[in-house]
Amino acid sequence: MIDYIKGEITELTPANVVLESVGVGYFIHISLPTFTVLGGQTSAKLFVYEAIREDAYILYGFLSKSERQLFLLLISVSGIGANTARVIMSSYTAQEIQEMIASGNVVALNAIKGIGTKTAQRIIVDLKDKIVKGVGGSEFPNVIMNAQNEKKEEAVSALIMLGYASAASQKTVDRILKDEPTLKVEQLIKLALKMM
């Protein structure tokens, strides 16, 4: 079992990368966010998932163990194969996907190419508890909460600096985050200002 491959980037496209390590070039499938991070770099370390089938031996590469863990969770859902999981992970960041699942955001998942409403609902039903609780002490149980708290704190302090009361600011930001947990800080502040 390969845990990770560290080597020189000899080829890079939005869908895959070739990492050369000790004279061997490994053809590794990647997501768009990984492609973006690798652009401009000469070497990389990718955590690997090996898909071994009768007719193929395919490697999928991830920037972190928690990203690979999310991929493994996605392919554990009935009807989601490795390619569909890669499309999901190319559509949003790992953190955004976790937030969507944790908050039950069917609409956002449904917007991904190839994901119908039933599949989106199945992903949420199968993975919500695992994402929220964290799987076997994996790296991301608190990612969502930490990200939400940071976002909330930033938005609230911005509103307070603009002269709004602390309690009212917190209440408004909480209400927005409950309905739309994937909003960026700037969007959150703009929405809050309209509601204050």
Confidence grade of residue 87 (pLDDT, cut at 50, 70, 90): very high
Question: Any idea which of 19-33, 66-80, 131-145, 180-194 has the lowest mean pLDDT?
Answer: 131-145
Return the exposure string of 106-145: e unless at least 16 CB atoms fall within 10 Å of the residue's CB, then b. bebbeebeebeeebbebbbebbeebbeebbeebebbebbe
Query: Is the whole-model pTM more than 0.95?
Result: no
For 181, the domain range is 143-195
- 189: buried, middle or exposed (CB in 10 Å: 19+, 13-18, 0-12)? buried
Question: Residue 124 pairs with which residues in a beta bridge?
Answer: none
- Domain of residue 54, CATH code: 2.40.50.140
Same domain assignment for residues 72 and 122: yes
Same domain assignment for residues 148 and 186: yes
Per the structure, how many domains does the chain have?
3
* Cα–Cα distance, 101 to 19 (Å, whole number): 32
Same domain assignment for residues 33 and 86: no
User: With contact defined as beta carbons under 8 Å apart, do 2 and 58 qualify?
Assistant: no
116, 117, 121, 126: CA torsion to nearest 10: -10
Give the residue with greater pLDDT, 168 vs 146. 168
Q: How confident is the model over 86-113, as a mean pLDDT?
A: 88
Given the DSSP bridges, would you call strands 24-29 and 4-12 parallel, antiparallel or unpaired? unpaired
* Cα–Cα distance, 122 to 77 (Å, whole number): 7
pLDDT tens per residue, range 28-63: 999 998 998 998 899 999 999 999 888 889 999 999
Among 145, 196, 147, smallest CA distance to 170 is for: 196
pLDDT of 9 above 90? yes
- Domain of residue 120, CATH code: 1.10.150.20
Same domain assignment for residues 94 and 108: yes
pLDDT of 170 above 70? yes
Among 167, 169, 171, smallest CA distance to 189 is for: 169
Structural domain contains residue 190: yes
Confidence grade of residue 6 (pLDDT, cut at 50, 70, 90): very high
Confidence grade of residue 137 (pLDDT, cut at 50, 70, 90): very low
Question: Residue 25 pairs with which residues in a beta bridge?
Answer: 20
* Cα–Cα distance, 65 to 47 (Å, whole number): 6
Structural domain contains residue 100: yes
